[in-house]
Amino acid sequence: MTEHVQVEDQGAVRVIRFNRPEKKNALTRAMYAAAAEALNDGGADKDVRCFVIAGQPEAFTAGNDLNDFMQAPPRIGADEPPPVERFMRALAGAEKPVIAAVDGLAVGIGVTMLLHCDLGYASTRASFRTPFVDLALAPEYASSLLMPARMGRAAASDLLLLCSVWDAPRALRSGLITDVFTPEALEGEVMARAEALAAKPPTAVRAAKALMTAEPEPVMERIKREGALFSDLLQSPEFMEAATAFMERRKPDFSKFG
Ligand code: COA
């Protein structure tokens, strides 16, 4: 464990906070390892329903620690995955929803990880930059696929080729983030959404996320797959609770489901 990542469960929401403000939250191997463990453990814990990834005021993260990159360059795809790959695999494979709260700098992997979060919120003072090409490096963790798919090739090239700095309105316009708030309001707004997600029927939340993150397939195949899932869920205790609560004019309680 490292003091540079704080993990705190606030009810059913696990907050993973980068905490290395003196280095603008540049991410070290120890930090990736701690964040990967927090995601993997939370994935297996039925009381954790949603994750929030956050940073410090004015620094979400300045990206990978460049000293670490030079001293111990990670070998992505090796038999023994390095901590950064363990973290990104845990994030990309998370079955439960993950929300990012970006206040200030998001550089390099700080932007890449947004592509693997379900929702991303930024403050008005956030900035986004992927300087891989400027550093003579390459896009990472499928950002060369996910970025053009999300925002179109022109906008993706502005980030990945030109290495432009985007402000929050620009990131919002291109769909990199979901919404923008003042720095003071950001974490409250994010926690409200995380708590709302955490209170929803967990199997249905995971099912919707799994469908949205699945590999593309023909529309007719997808209709079949959704239909089979829909029929299964109609038999689920979570649906019974939702429908019964509606009939009884009360708020549904999904807290007992895992
Ligand atoms: N790796 C290692 N150290 C980093 C770092 C990184 N990615 N980003 C910032 N730091 C360190 C700085 O070296 C400095 O350390 P020092 O106080 O011991 O000298 C400290 O964090 C503060 O950074 P500083 O550059 O003084 O802050 P700034 O507000 O002027 O600029 C950045 C912030 C993020 C714009 C600038 O630090 C930067 O460009 N960092 C590199 C970002 C990067 O290329 N990331 C890798 C992407 S793959």
Ligand 1 atom, smallest distance to 59 CA? 34
Ligand 1 neighbourhood includes 131 CB (under 6 angstroms): yes
Geometric angle at alpha carbon 185, from 55 and 63, rounded to 5°: 20
First to last CA, the chain: 27
Q: Whose CA is nearest to atom 13 of ligand 1?
A: 23
* Pocket probe mutation, ligand 1, options 23, 27, 102, 128, max atoms within 8 Å of Cβ: 23
Q: What is the pLDDT of residue 258?
A: 83
Q: What is the distance in A from the centroid of ligand 1 to the CA of 62?
A: 6
Q: What is the pLDDT of residue 23?
A: 98
Q: What is the distance in A from the centroid of ligand 1 to the CA of 105?
A: 10
Q: What is the distance in A from the centroid of ligand 1 to the CA of 24?
A: 6
Low-confidence ranges of the chain (pLDDT < 50): none
Q: What is the distance in A from the centroid of ligand 1 to the CA of 64?
A: 10
CB 44 within 8 A of CB 91: no
Other CB atoms within a 10 A radius of the CB of residue 228 amount to 10
Ligand 1 neighbourhood includes 65 CB (under 6 angstroms): yes
Ligand 1 neighbourhood includes 103 CB (under 6 angstroms): no
Q: What is the pLDDT of residue 77?
A: 85
CATH class, domain 5-198, is: alpha beta
CA–CA separation, 142 and 33 (whole Å): 20
* Pocket probe mutation, ligand 1, options 20, 24, 135, max atoms within 8 Å of Cβ: 24
CA–CA separation, 198 and 190 (whole Å): 12
Burial environment of residue 242 by CB neighbours within 10 A (0 to 12, 13 to 18, 19 or more): middle
Ligand 1 neighbourhood includes 67 CB (under 6 angstroms): yes
> How many secondary structure helices (H) and strands (E) does the chain include?
11, 10
Domain ranges of the chain: 5-198, 202-247
Q: What is the pLDDT of residue 43?
A: 98
Q: What is the distance in A from the centroid of ligand 1 to the CA of 86?
A: 23
